[in-house]
Amino acid sequence: MAKRLDGKRAIILGAAAEGNLGQVTARRFAAEGARVLVAGRHEAALRTLADEISGTHALCDITDEADLAAMVSHCVATLGGVDLAVNCTGWGLLTPFLDNTREELEKMAALQFTGPFQFFQAVLRKMADGGAVVQVSSATAKIMMDDHAAYMGTKAGMDHVIRCIANEFGARGIRANSVAPGFTASPMTERAAKNPAVVGAFEKEYPLGRVGTLDDTAEAIVWLCSDACFVTGEVMQVNGGVTLRRNPTNAEIVAAAKAAKAARSA
């Protein structure tokens, strides 16, 4: 039985943290037959992962235009081209709106808007016809979450850029989509994910009765990159239906954590 990504050459950026979405996705891509270049800012972790999946790696800071171009050139040199590209990078800044500094805003824009924009530019200059790009967005680009405006705004902005890519490059058979997970146990949410009360505060808002996993998101990315996919310019809400409802407020999260602590002490 043919694997879904047989023969595809893929770049996955943001795969340098142990167990993060980039790493989970890279392993899934390799299992589906893709040859994968993993990229990020920490060489030891990237080299270990690349060896594990019989792929290759490149050091790359998404905010550095020269790094992006060099990474794509390395992919072409080592894998013979590029068919698929996934951006898994992000910074989960939580800061009240009035407390966001200019420095934080510029860093967030560089990491979550300018950087991804230029990543896809670099990739599309070399991508084979019939390829696919995927941007990892967030449910919070559609629904509210307290103290998350800079994160949410840049993710939402890139969702619209993805629509522009889909419109412009569709004539070459290139598909462009975003995936939007909700609260997910991952290195980015490690502290909160280890607190059952916090997870429970989110979980009750999910129609499917649980928060997401990295595997849920990776599965959606695999499908969006497969030849079976006839979707472009969309934001796939891979979040158990939370966008039908809402995220809990900060006050509700704090109250849930306090109640759980009190119950343990009783």
Pairing of strands 82-87, 175-179: unpaired
Total structural domains in the chain?
A: 1
Using pLDDT thresholds of 50, 70 and 90, give the confidence band for residue 261. Answer: confident
Region 12-25 average pLDDT: 97
Residue 231 lies in a domain: yes
* Residue 53 covered by a domain: yes
Residue 263 maps to a domain: no
Would you state the pLDDT for residue 185?
A: 82
Q: CA nearest 153: which of 237, 97, 212, 102?
A: 97
The per-residue pLDDT for 44 is 98
Residue 83 pLDDT > 80, yes or no? Answer: yes
Alpha carbon 202 to chain centroid distance? 20
Question: What's this model's pTM, rounded to 2 decimal places?
Answer: 0.96
Range of the domain at 180: 9-189+212-244
Residue 256 lies in a domain: no
Per-residue pLDDT averaged across 3-9, rounded? Answer: 98
Split at pLDDT 50, 70, 90, the class of 93 is very high
Cα–Cα distance, 266 to 259 (Å, whole number): 11
pLDDT at 7: 97
27, two tokens: 């392993």
Burial of 163 (0-12, 13-18, 19+ CB in 10 A): middle
Q: Is the pLDDT of residue 189 over 90?
A: no
Q: What is the mean pLDDT of residues 15-44?
A: 98
Residue 266 covered by a domain: no
Q: Once rounded to an integer, what is the mean pLDDT over residues 189-218?
A: 93
Residue 203 lies in a domain: no
Confidence of residue 264 (pLDDT cuts 50, 70, 90): confident
At 198 the pLDDT is: 93
pLDDT at 227: 97
In a domain, 4, yes or no: no
Tell whether the model's pLDDT for residue 1 goes beyond 80.
no
**% of the chain at pLDDT higher than 70:** 100
Q: How far apart are CA 51 and CA 65, in angstroms?
A: 26
Q: Which residue has the higher pLDDT, 187 or 65?
A: 65
Answer whether residue 51 shows pLDDT above 80. yes
Q: Judge whether 198 lies within some domain.
A: no
CATH number for the domain harbouring residue 42 = 3.40.50.720
Q: So what's the pLDDT on residue 186?
A: 83
**Residue 192 clears pLDDT 90, i.e. is over it:** no
